[in-house]
Amino acid sequence: MCRNIKILFNFDPPVTDEEIRNASLQFVRKISGFTKPSQTNQPQFEAAVDEIAASSTRLLHSLKTTATPKNREEEAAKLKARSAARFGT
């Protein structure tokens, strides 16, 4: 699951709320061990995702850099090439 969490800082266009939420969901899934929690645990699971998403949003908006923003398409192509070299697909 951790491989699905992508770097979200310093991209053009900037990260979206949906991308932050998706990364937060993957994180909570990883640490809880639940892909889909039971109805009993659903409220706590969703609360954790919301808290991590809010914290991540604050973090990403507060970070500063002098590096030029990375292009999403170029980075995706690099990852795809790396994956093809690694797994032969």
pLDDT digits (tens, 9 = 90+) for 16-33: 999 999 999 999 999 999
Query: Does a structural domain hold residue 62?
Result: yes
Give yes or no for a contact between 5 and 23, defined as CB atoms under 8 angstroms apart.
Answer: yes
Q: How many separate domains does the chain show?
A: 1
Query: Does a structural domain hold residue 2?
Result: no
Query: Does a structural domain hold residue 1?
Result: no
Sign of CA dihedral 67, 69, 70, 71: negative
Query: Does a structural domain hold residue 17?
Result: yes
Q: Higher pLDDT residue, 39 or 83?
A: 39
- Statement: residue 60 has pLDDT above 80: yes
- Statement: residue 3 has pLDDT above 70: no
Band of residue 40 on the pLDDT scale cut at 50, 70, 90? very high
Domain that residue 38 falls in:
8-87
- Statement: residue 84 has pLDDT above 70: yes
Query: Does a structural domain hold residue 16?
Result: yes
pLDDT given at position 18: 95
